[in-house]
Amino acid sequence: MRHIEALVIGGGPAGLAMSRCLSDYGIEHVILERGRVAERWRSERWDSLRLLTPNWLTRLPGLAYDGDDPDGFMAASEVVGFLEKYARLIRPPIETDTTVTSVAPARDAFTVTTSRGDWSARAVVIATGETDVPIVPSMAKRLAPHVDQLVPSEYLRPSQIRDGGVLVAGASSSGIQIADELQQAGRAVTIAVGGHTRVPRTYRGRDILWWFDRAGLLDEPAEHVQDLKQSRRQPSLQLVGHPDRRSLDLSTLQDLGVRVLGRLRGIDGAHLTFDDDLVATTVASDAKLALLLSRLDEFARRARLDREVGAPEPFVPRWRRFFDAPTAIDLAATNIQTVVWAMGYRQRYPWLRVPVVDETGEIRHQGGVTPYPGLYVLGLRFLRRRNSTFIDGIGKDAAALAPHVAAFVRWQARATA
């Protein structure tokens, strides 16, 4: 068994950022990565995917984007390149192709079992990220066997999908992008919509994330949120990092020819039923967006930005467009041959033997510090701030969490000396 002060599980942006910060504090550590650096960006992203955040927001401790397209959006391969560049810069101690199979408490330490041997560590940082296991509802088992099923991490490109129509279940970031790409490739697409967060790509001539950054919304601390659990359950933004900076929402999809339905409620072979809730969920999304834009207008006035940005834009609600959505379809009659489950992700930690997982499967923590001494988590939604799953937010969270890890390791070393 090998001994180390700290182990970091995951070699994506969270694990790399934590490694850099632990090195700054002189903490001996190793990253354990099941594949390669940035493995999910290499093997679990579709070909055309781009970051939702503009390039100028791509920054980690010690490295920020310095290219000639700050307002562009990195393709998946470019994200891999950025993280590889970061790894070359910080030279992290990393064990690749190493799968963690168990993390368990031991006396004054943790025992970490992997596919390449065991470790003992005073502290463990779980940095496996937010996009862990795609959600597939139990009713998927009742779908007609001739219908193909896949999740976003399995989707690569339209040519991969066999001939026929496609149902995309879920209208957050992944769902609307996949629906858009398939429709523009000539497929007949239906999208089933639950709760969603509508935002424009640009507002008053500026990227929406420029507004969020200037107004301090991205760095809003978790402790300032009225209902943190509810905020962590919010769907991802309906945004696309497209080179032409276009907005993408339900009305855009409908204009392209996508059929928009309510939340998928039931499956009986080829017969699918949907909730009559499309207008209600759209009204709720419209109301939140109207309030957001009003807040941004007020911020612009107070910050004297009116000469720097464009004029306030009229708000256009969408809910009137969706009154006549059907509540049932027959897949055979509509020639739908494929269902894409784009309903988000959940975290699963079957290898974690430490009592910190709640009844929903999530790790209990406060700002990344779990109730069990020496165990930390990084890269989860609203961990310490609103942008905790953005690369920029991950870096800031790592910088804030590293002193806690370092202090615990040093305290534990003194206590066991």
* 242 and 330 part of one domain: yes
Residue position matching structure tokens 């032409």: 244
* 57 and 96 part of one domain: yes
Q: Is the pLDDT of residue 360 over 90?
A: no
pLDDT in tens, 280-304: 999 999 999 999 999 999 999 999 9
pLDDT in tens, 171-202: 999 999 999 999 999 999 999 999 999 999 99
Of the two residues 225 and 304, the one the predictor is more confident about is: 304
Q: Are 127 and 391 in contact (CB under 8 A)?
A: no
Average pLDDT (233-259) is 90
* 148 and 222 part of one domain: yes
In this prediction, residue 134 carries a pLDDT of 93
In this prediction, residue 311 carries a pLDDT of 95
Helix (H, G, I), strand (E, B) or coil at 147: coil
Neighbours of 25 (CB within 10 A): 15
Q: Is the pLDDT of residue 222 over 90?
A: no
pLDDT, the chain, mean: 95
In this prediction, residue 144 carries a pLDDT of 97
Neighbours of 411 (CB within 10 A): 13
In this prediction, residue 94 carries a pLDDT of 98
In three state form, how does the secondary structure of 119-132 look? EEEEEEEECCCCCC
**pLDDT class for 226, splitting at 50, 70, 90?**
confident
Q: Which two tokens stand for residue 383?
A: 């961990």
Q: Is the pLDDT of residue 232 over 90?
A: no
Q: 296: domain CATH number? A: 3.50.50.60
Cα 82 to Cα 17, 57, 86, 245: the distances in Å are: 13, 13, 6, 21
Of 312, 341, 370, the domain-final residue? 341
* 155 and 127 part of one domain: no
Predicted TM-score of the model (pTM): 0.94
* 140 and 117 part of one domain: no
| Alpha helices in 307-362, H assignment, sequence order | 331-334
pLDDT in tens, 115-128: 999 999 999 999 99
Average pLDDT (13-32) is 98
In this prediction, residue 230 carries a pLDDT of 80
What is the extent of the structural domain holding 98?
2-132+347-415
In this prediction, residue 190 carries a pLDDT of 98
* 253 and 310 part of one domain: yes
Q: Is the pLDDT of residue 246 over 80?
A: yes
Neighbours of 335 (CB within 10 A): 11
Total tally of structural domains belonging to the chain:
2
Phi/psi for 175 (5° steps) reads -60, -45
* 321 and 399 part of one domain: no
Q: Are 125 and 136 in contact (CB under 8 A)?
A: no
In this prediction, residue 113 carries a pLDDT of 98
In this prediction, residue 324 carries a pLDDT of 87
pLDDT in tens, 394-415: 999 999 999 999 999 999 999 8
CA-only gyration radius of the chain, Å: 23
List the Cα angle 181/152/140 in 5-degree steps: 115
The candidate with the shortest Cα–Cα distance to 346, out of 266, 245, 184, 233, is 233
Which amino acid, one-letter code, is at 66?
D
pLDDT in tens, 314-324: 998 888 888 88
The candidate with the shortest Cα–Cα distance to 19, out of 395, 343, 306, 417, is 395
